[in-house]
Amino acid sequence: MTGFDASLLYLETSQQMLVVGGILIVDVSALDFEYTFDRVRTELARRVKEIPEFRRKIYDSPLNLGHPAWVEEYDLDVTQHVRRVVVDAPGDDDAVFEMCGTLSSRPLDRSRPLWEMWVLEGLAAPGTIAVFFRAHHALLDGTSSAAVLRKLSAAGQKPSSRDLDLVRTQAGGANPLQLITGGLWDFYVRRPVTIARLLPEAAMLPIRLRRAAGTRAAGKKTAPREVRDPDAGAGTGTHEAVEADDEVAPKAAPFTAPRTRFNATITPHRAVWGTTLDLTEIKEIKSAFGVTVNDVFLTVVGGGLRRYLRLYDDLPEKPLIAVVPVSTRDDDGTQGNNRVTVLFASLGTDIPDPVERLRAVSARTRRGKKQTRSGMRPDFIQDLATLAPAAPLSLLMRLYGDFHLADLHPVVHNLVVSNFPGPRGKLDFLGARVKHMYPLGPLMHGSGLSVTAMSLGGQLDVGINACEHLVPDPDLFADGVRESMDRLLSLTRQRQAAPEPTMSGEE
């Protein structure tokens, strides 16, 4: 197990469950067989044998000085992982998401492979079930979760030799001598070598980041944006070319985020919700302003946060800061289950005009990516995590939560916003069509809200995971995201129809 994967185990507490998941809305009316839960579970039992990730479990020993290992569970009992529950009447979205929130509040059993599926029956829509999938973050990240879904969709065919090779490479048998020997090698050889390599790199990192920022400022480029008189009323802006420099982009850095109602110590209780955006409409905005799909998504999330916090009179003057995971995964698939670095992005929640917010978010994201590429080696965080000490880190995190230390120090970041590609075409689950797939990211103390999106055909499904005590009404936030999307799309089409007249769009 890599240090990064292991650190996700060490950082977990009863309140801070580092679990990823997804809610699939599945149309079972067109199955080749009549739907019953037993038949679905039997089919799953046959197919999970072809998915290496589902057969891995933790193996460790008190004598091990290194990180735990993954071993294969040869006697996998699917009945311990796949269960059924009937949602409360009338089986609408409220009932489905409330049940998923309740199920999210339970820790996973570490003595077994770290995943589970719940089949939710009793939905209002005829011929429809929901499948709630959960897995520990040490086992899967967002990118690999999407890959597992694709494997489930294609499972039942002959397993690829690559999948079988990954099982042999990443999940062997339980061998105590090999575990202890590997731990000694890790502690006395690999870690000292890693420290010797990381110390000069860490010392130079601030200089490299400043140099990358300086290079960005020196290479200013012109980009059109809307310039509005802050003292004027609606409809007084004009379009002109301005320099997309550092003054345009709001700065984003750790410990600079404002405190909001969801930036506090979290509890184990979760509230979840899902909503869907039209990917074609997002791409229409992307093309109109020369930005990326992720820029549009971050802008829309910022607009949703702005609307939500204004309902509670809790909108800070400073912009909210999101942590955006960036995958560094290569094609070999043999270097751990999590391969990410992070980007701090301003969501422009202090900017009332959606178009101006999009410009600012895009400029900051470009600058942040450049700084990350120029200043930090992609595997720097991975290498740093290899030094994570198990017992001290676990104790520190328990004390951190028990003493509510997240409430005392400056906010590191406000929330996590993640967007990863799903299947380009349609997705099926055991032969049944998946109508929606709402991904859910983990929560950490000090950041009780997570927003994760995955593309599915021509739609972008957005999953919202929140601490129930901090954000008891994620449906209101989801409404704000959709309203923000509608407003930005409306302004975009106004601009396309009549470029010269100005657009007014305060939220």
Q: Which residues are catalytic, by number? A: 137
Element (H, E) at 69: strand 69-72
Residue 489: which residues within 8 A CB-CB, separation 6 or more?
Answer: 281, 284, 285
Number of residues written out for the chain: 507
For residue 139, give both structure tokens: 């086992």
For residue 134, give both structure tokens: 């959960």
318 phi and psi angles, rounded to 5 deg: -80, 150
CB atoms under 10 Å from CB of 204, counted, come to: 12
Residue 156: which residues within 8 A CB-CB, separation 6 or more?
Answer: 46, 47, 50
CB atoms under 10 Å from CB of 336, counted, come to: 20
Q: How far apart are CA 297 and CA 216, in angstroms?
A: 24
Which segments of 227-278 does DSSP mark as H helices, in order? none
| β pairing state of 415-420 and 321-327 | parallel
Q: How far apart are CA 343 and CA 439, in angstroms?
A: 20
199 phi and psi angles, rounded to 5 deg: -60, -55
**Greatest C-alpha distance within the chain:** 74
Residue 83 Cα distances to 41, 60, 114, 216, 504, angstroms: 8, 28, 15, 53, 51
Element (H, E) at 19: strand 19-27
Residue 324: which residues within 8 A CB-CB, separation 6 or more?
Answer: 294, 298, 342, 343, 344, 345, 365, 416, 417, 418, 419
Q: How far apart are CA 368 and CA 373, in angstroms?
A: 9
Q: How far apart are CA 266 and CA 406, in angstroms?
A: 9
78 phi and psi angles, rounded to 5 deg: -65, -25
